Amino acid sequence: MAQDLMCQSAIEARPDVVIISEPYRQLPYWHNDTKGDASIWVTQFNGRAPNETLLYRKDGLVSIGVGDILCFSGYWSSNIKIEEYMTHINKLASVIRKGVSRSKKVIVAGDFNAKSTCWGGQTTVKRERILMETLCA
């Protein structure tokens, strides 16, 4: 139901790109990670067919270039150990660094399970500090 609502909202709002975390099912015309947790949908609702390039696709993270913008969609479970979280963070940072040579316009979105008062959480956890330090570096 939530995915149907997301698709209907996209039809009404007509965005060029929709970044999705934990979809109920991944559709074949989306750019999907290998695990089923993160997707990017280039909608073409507005009659534009932007140049899309798949940059990275592994468990929990997918990245594409859309025109002159880099888009990242990610999902990392709250159940993974901090060491695995660090591995994911380091991979995200590496892919961003490689992509920034192509474009300075970057969108990173997803559910990285990093609770923070920065985005309305009650507390800030270690994962949030790691994520913010990485993205701000």
The domain spans of the chain are 1-136
Q: What's the predicted TM-score (pTM) here?
A: 0.87
Q: Tell me: domain 1-136, CATH 3.60.10.10, correct?
A: yes
Alpha-carbon 130 to chain mean position? 17
Q: What is the pLDDT along the chain (137 residues), one digit of tens a residue?
A: 788 899 999 989 999 999 999 998 999 999 999 999 999 999 988 777 678 889 999 999 999 999 889 999 999 998 999 999 999 999 999 998 888 877 889 999 999 888 777 777 788 778 888 888 888 87
Alpha-carbon 99 to chain mean position? 14
Would you state the pLDDT for residue 1? 74
Q: Specify the residue for token string 């040579």.
A: 101
Would you state the pLDDT for residue 116? 78
